[in-house]
Every structure is written in structure tokens, then in C-alpha cells.
């Protein structure tokens, strides 16, 4: 029978010499790596080290999914991109950097959002799916698609100083992501990296772990993190491993699954579904809302109202809407005496989620004339005043 694995060129033999000299790796593992393909969802903080190390290692094919452009606030951690790339599509910047690292690697660019409509077809041609995003709809979608296609899903998440990594693969005897987290948190409860912040080196640490797991899965070496969750706290530099079990009643990977195809993941996570009109950032449907254009008109007309900013002080230093008063969401309950009850209160944050929570808190305290600014200061910068920095 003919050998199905691709041969290594003389240049590749020299390039991967340090792999080939490892007895547990060797030329067969390198050829399996060259024959393999990984779909990496996201070309940001996690996607950068994932893609760079997989390219350097000699993976044959990398698919990158991202619809964003490079922003200056990305550069602190998204090492695929440089200062000269600000304003470019992330995929273009990533492609150029990866080809500099290794011209032998095929780079597939998917400049789109990973959705229930395109995910199955997009992931079908790859051996491993890696989730490099920081939002829950994509997290559940990538998990379900991996289960449906019987492909390993290499999971990673980061926030502030802590991160975690695992491999979800029911077809290999482990659990899926839903076994660990059957339900998503309420919208706005868990901050994104943009809202909560992240130590710049943390995605490098977790993303490198994800790349390592992908290499092990494709080459067949070692013991992947199937059925285990690795947690790291960089402040104490402590690593802990937790055992995970498959849930026989899981709706996706259980004994009698009830979800057998992609669903509305936005709706599942409490956000407006993808077939509904979307705004810069969704808010809870029953929250009274105004647009940034409405807010601009209110200011221009000299209307009396209290403009409340519930972001963190560091965010206020980066960008602010004129006339706003800063009371961080975490301090609002203790500083209610600073919020007038005898006039209209307009609330904003970065994108509209934390301000919606603040509005609900004020409603519980008896405030009446409350309005949430849809899209927050990001929408203000985009639609009203482009000199206000985004972050």
C-alpha cells in the first residue's frame, strides 16, 4: 500500500530538525502534522500564539476565522499584528505574519463571523477546531459543531490574570463543553476581555497550551487534556487540574441528544438572535433605551438630565462622553445618593451591557425616568464623535 502521508522537502527536514531529533516525535509525527489541518476561530489574543506556533511547528493547513480589523488596543496582546497593521483586516495581517514564519503552511482566510449557518461547512475539512474567542455564543457553537462532526474542540479562556484550557472530545471518551457548563451565564454577568481587562502575556500562555494540544491530537503523541481542565493563576503562578466527566444527559453529547444541529446561539445566551436587527451591542429587550444620536440631540437641545457612566476609572481616562459622571457599576449600590431621583437619568458604559444592569439596579431602588444608551461609548465614537478613542 502507498504511504498516505506527505513527504518532507529538504528545506522542511532542515526547518523541523529539532522535532525530528525527538525520539517520541520524529519524522512520522512531523509528516502527520504536515497532513493535518486546524480551524482557529479568532485571530486575536488567543489566536495569535495558536496560529504562530502551529505555523512554526509545520502544520499543513491553518484556517483562520475573523471579521475584525486591527485596533491599537489589540497590540498589547495580539502579537500577530503590529503598529503598522492598525486599521487592516486582522486576517490580512495574520496571513502576512504567518507566511513570514513558515511559507510551507497553507493559510485559509474566512473573513466572516462564525455562525450556525456557516460553521458546519467551514469546520468540516479540518481535523481540529480551536476556539480562540471570548464570547459565549461562539463557545457553545464551536462545541456543538465539534460534537456533530466528531472532531476535537480545543478550548481556552482568559480574563484578567487567570486562564484555562481543555480538550472537549466525546468521540474520544471525554465530555463536551456543555457537560462542564450546561447553561451560559446571564448577559453581562461575565465581562469580556475588553471590559474586564487581560494581562497581555496571559493569552500567550493559554494559546500556546491550545497549540500544544492540537499538535498532540494530530500527531498522536502524549496525553491530550481530554476529561481534564487546566487552570492557571498567573499572579501566584499556580496550575491546577480538574477532572471533568461526560454528562449522560447532555443535550448534545449525551445518551439521547436533543440538539443534533446548530441552534440560535445568540438567543440561547440571552442575546438578540442573529436574524433580528442588531445594534452595536445588544441590551435586554425590556430595558428603556435611546441611541447615541438621541443623546446627542438631548445635549444639543439643552435638555436637563443626569448622564451616568458606569465603566471603570481606567476606561473613563481613555475615553468619555462630555457631561458624564463616573460611578463604576460595582460602586453604584453604595453611591445612590449621587444619582438624582428628580430628573431623567441616562446611563452608558462601553457597549450597553453594564449600563443595562445599572438601569435594573436603579429600577429596584425606585428610580423611574431611566434610559440606557444603546451601544455605549463605542457607538458614540462610531456615530457621533470619531475623536473619542475606542478600546
291-299 long-range Cβ contacts below 8 angstroms, 24+ apart: 291/373, 291/374, 291/375, 291/379, 291/383, 292/373, 292/374, 292/375, 292/379, 292/380, 292/383, 292/384, 293/383, 293/384, 295/321, 295/346, 295/348, 295/373, 295/380, 295/384, 296/384, 298/346, 299/323
Q: What is the C-alpha to C-alpha distance for residues 98 and 327, in angstroms, rounded to an integer?
A: 43
Residue recorded with cell 453604584: 332
Distance of CA 100 to the CA centre of its chain: 25
CA within 13 Å, CB half, 207: 28
Decide if 193 is catalytic: yes
162-168, strands of its sheet edge to edge: 106-110, 61-65, 37-41, 128-131, 153-159, 162-168, 228-233, 238-243
* Nearest CA among 284, 310, 287 for reference residue 363: 287
Backbone angles phi, psi at 63, to 5 degrees: -100, 130
349 carries an active-site annotation: yes
- Angle formed by the axes of helices 376-383 and 292-300, to 10°? 70
C-alpha 368/C-alpha 359 separation (Å) is 10
Q: Is there a contact between 281 and 353 (Cβ–Cβ < 8 Å)?
A: yes
Under 8 Å between Cβ of 56 and 102: yes
Point out the catalytic residue in the list 40, 165, 176, 193.
Answer: 193
Cell of 143: 462545541
| 3 state DSSP class of 378 | helix
**By three-state DSSP, how is residue 305 classified?**
coil
CA distance 66 to 45: 12
Question: Residues with Cβ < 8 Å from 141, sequence gap 6 or more?
Answer: 114, 115, 116, 119, 262, 265
- Counts for the chain of helices (H) and strands (E), in that order: 15, 13
Smallest Cα–Cα separation from 35: which of 186, 176, 220, 207?
220
Residues assigned a catalytic role: 193, 349
Amino acid at each position: 500500500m502507498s504511504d498516505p502521508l506527505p513527504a518532507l522537502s529538504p528545506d522542511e527536514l532542515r526547518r523541523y530538525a529539532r522535532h525530528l531529533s525527538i525520539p517520541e516525535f520524529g519524522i512520522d509525527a512531523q509528516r502527520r502534522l504536515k497532513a493535518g489541518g486546524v480551524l482557529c476561530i479568532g485571530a486575536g489574543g488567543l489566536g495569535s500564539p495558536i496560529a504562530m506556533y502551529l505555523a512554526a511547528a509545520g502544520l499543513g493547513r491553518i484556517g483562520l476565522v475573523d471579521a475584525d480589523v486591527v485596533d491599537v488596543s489589540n497590540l498589547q496582546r495580539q502579537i500577530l499584528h503590529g503598529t503598522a497593521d492598525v486599521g487592516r483586516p486582522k486576517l490580512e495581517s495574520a496571513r502576512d505574519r504567518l507566511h513570514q514564519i513558515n511559507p510551507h503552511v497553507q493559510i485559509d482566510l474566512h473573513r466572516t463571523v462564525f455562525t450556525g449557518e456557516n460553521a458546519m461547512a467551514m469546520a468540516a475539512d479540518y481535523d481540529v477546531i480551536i476556539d480562540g474567542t471570548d464570547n459565549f455564543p461562539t463557545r457553545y457553537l464551536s462545541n456543538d459543531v465539534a460534537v456533530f462532526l466528531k472532531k476535537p474542540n480545543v478550548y481556552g479562556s482568559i480574563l484578567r490574570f487567570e486562564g484555562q484550557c481543555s480538550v472537549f472530545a466525546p468521540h474520544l471518551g471525554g465530555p463536551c463543553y456543555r457537560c462542564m457548563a450546561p447553561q451560559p451565564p446571564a448577559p453581562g454577568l461575565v465581562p469580556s476581555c475588553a471590559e474586564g481587562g487581560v494581562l497581555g502575556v496571559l493569552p500567550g500562555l493559554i494559546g500556546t497550551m491550545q497549540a500544544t494540544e492540537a499538535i498532540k491530537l494530530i500527531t498522536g503523541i502524549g496525553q491530550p487534556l481530554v476529561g481534564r481542565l487546566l487552570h492557571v493563576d498567573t499572579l501566584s503562578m499556580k496550575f491546577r487540574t480538574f477532572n471533568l466527566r461526560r454528562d449522560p444527559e447532555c443535550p448534545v453529547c449525551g445518551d439521547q441528544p436533543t440538539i443534533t444541529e446548530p441552534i440560535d446561539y445568540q438567543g440561547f445566551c440571552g442575546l438578540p438572535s442573529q436574524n433580528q436587527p442588531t445594534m452595536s451591542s445588544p441590551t435586554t429587550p425590556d430595558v428603556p433605551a435611546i441611541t447615541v444620536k438621541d443623546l446627542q440631540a438631548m445635549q444639543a437641545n439643552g435638555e436637563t438630565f443626569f448622564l451616568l457612566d458606569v465603566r471603570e476609572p481606567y476606561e473613563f481616562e481613555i475615553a468619555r462622553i462630555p457631561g458624564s459622571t463616573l460611578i463604576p457599576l460595582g460602586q453604584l449600590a453604595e453611591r445612590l445618593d449621587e444619582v438624582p431621583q428628580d430628573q431623567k437619568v441616562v446611563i452608558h458604559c462601553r457597549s450597553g451591557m453594564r449600563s443595562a444592569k445599572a438601569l435594573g439596579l436603579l429600577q429596584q431602588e425606585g428610580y423611574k425616568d431611566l434610559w440606557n444608551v444603546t451601544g455605549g461609548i463605542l457607538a458614540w465614537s462610531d456615530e457621533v464623535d470619531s475623536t473619542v478613542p475606542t478600546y
